[in-house]
Amino acid sequence: MTTSPTVDALDTKVQEFRLEHRRRTFVDELTHLVTALGRIPDLPPADFSPGDRERLRELADEIVESIERRLDSDQDSESAKQHLASTIYEVRRRMEVIDAWFAHGGATPP
């Protein structure tokens, strides 16, 4: 399946993020990923194919799984854990916006 350059770039960032263990870098990269997800509906629909929708869902799931692993590792303060947990909801919310965008003609068939 071919994905758009935007989704390919996001995929690369998610794979790098999944390997990050330093707290500050983890949080910084997470912020970047959440922001990138939020920008998807602002891009031209022609930049995306319907297949990108499923890959974006998978990437959102990978982000959430990485956050959950971080939470399970118990290496952060309680306030940091709360922030990370709230970010899970934000990733899911942004993915809902992306799904709605695709459902309303956000991406065009190849």
Task: Decide if pLDDT at 80 tops 80.
Answer: yes
Largest CA distance in the chain: 47
Residue pLDDT, tens place only, 32-65: 999 999 999 999 888 888 789 999 999 999 999 9
Average pLDDT over residues 20-39: 95
| Locus of tokens 């499923």 | 54
pLDDT of residue 2: 74
Q: Does the reported pTM lie above 0.85?
A: yes
Structure tokens at 103: 């459902």
Nearest C-alpha neighbor of 50 from the set 4, 12, 96: 4
pLDDT-derived band at 107, boundaries 50, 70, 90? low
Structural domain boundaries in the chain: 5-103
The torsion region of residue 74 among left (phi > 0), alpha (psi -120 to 50) and beta comes to left
